[in-house]
Amino acid sequence: MPVQWIAGSGIYANSFVYRNILIDAGVPPMAVQPYADAIETIVITHAHYDHIAHLREIVRICGDPAVSIHEADAAGLADDARSLSLLFGARSPGIVPDVILRDGDRVGSLHVIHTPGHTPGGICLYDPETWVLFSGDTVFCGGSFGRYDFPGGDRVALAASIERLTELDVEGLYPGHGEPVTRGGGRHIAAAREALRYYG
């Protein structure tokens, strides 16, 4: 099944629909509405507000799907300091996740890869059968990477996370911000590794 890209607007993050999974929930709920009947699980790549802004409303229109997030970022769904929501003039959605994720877990065909650095509980999701990677704010197309100067950020951890991603066979790269690519995603990850090594 192809990935359905729901482009983020302005500073708000992209969302993606992959089979019965919605990845991230910063987009307006009406953008998710066409896929609502198919969505059974929502996976949050990390708890910054631009990725969770409309989580509560999206859960409602999708008929109460399970919300999943890594254990190290779970508190950010209700904690304004951890989500940075006050920088957006808003509040966290105040949701308790249904599923706590850890490195090595699976959500459908997607393997959970813990990639701290941008946040302590950042994750990427990888399908080894289709070579698709949902990279959150760990790495972006064009060879860039997530900021590590927010609270909880860690440059050393981010470098190790990106290094780990270079070991994967990646064609489709679907990041939290910017346009995705459907071919050659591994080259973008390798470029991000070099950029962080020399300029980060």
What are 24-44's pLDDT values in tens digits?
A: 999 999 999 999 999 999 999
d(CA 173, CA 89): 31
Sole residue written with tokens 């969770």: 52
Residue 147 has pLDDT above 90, yes or no: yes
Contact in structure between 28 and 37 (CB atoms under 8 Å): no
H or E stretch including 151?
A: none
C-alpha torsion angle, residues 56, 60, 64, 65 (rounded to 10) = -70
Residue 147 token pair: 């900021």
State residue 1's pLDDT score: 59
State residue 199's pLDDT score: 77
d(CA 137, CA 108): 21
In eight-state DSSP terms, residue 185 is H
Q: How confident is the model at residue 18 (pLDDT cuts 50, 70, 90)?
A: very high
Mean pLDDT rounded to a whole number for the chain: 96
Contacts of 57 (CB under 8 A, 6+ apart): 29
Contact in structure between 144 and 92 (CB atoms under 8 Å): no
State residue 198's pLDDT score: 86
The pTM is what? Answer: 0.97
The arithmetic mean of pLDDT across residues 74-89, rounded, is 95
Residue 23 has pLDDT above 70, yes or no: yes
Contact in structure between 161 and 115 (CB atoms under 8 Å): yes
Q: Which residues of 56-85 are buried (b: 16+ CB within 10 A; e: fewer)?
A: bebbebbeebebbbbebbbbbbbebebbbb
Q: How confident is the model at residue 155 (pLDDT cuts 50, 70, 90)?
A: very high
The arithmetic mean of pLDDT across residues 16-26, rounded, is 98
Looking from the CA of 193 toward its CB, the CA atoms found within 13 Å total 14
Which superfamily does 4-199 belong to?
Ribonuclease Z/Hydroxyacylglutathione hydrolase-like (3.60.15.10)
State residue 200's pLDDT score: 63
Q: List pLDDT tens digits, range 178-187.
A: 999 999 999 9
d(CA 112, CA 110): 6
Contacts of 13 (CB under 8 A, 6+ apart): 24, 26, 27, 48, 50, 51, 137, 176, 177
The arithmetic mean of pLDDT across residues 97-103, rounded, is 98
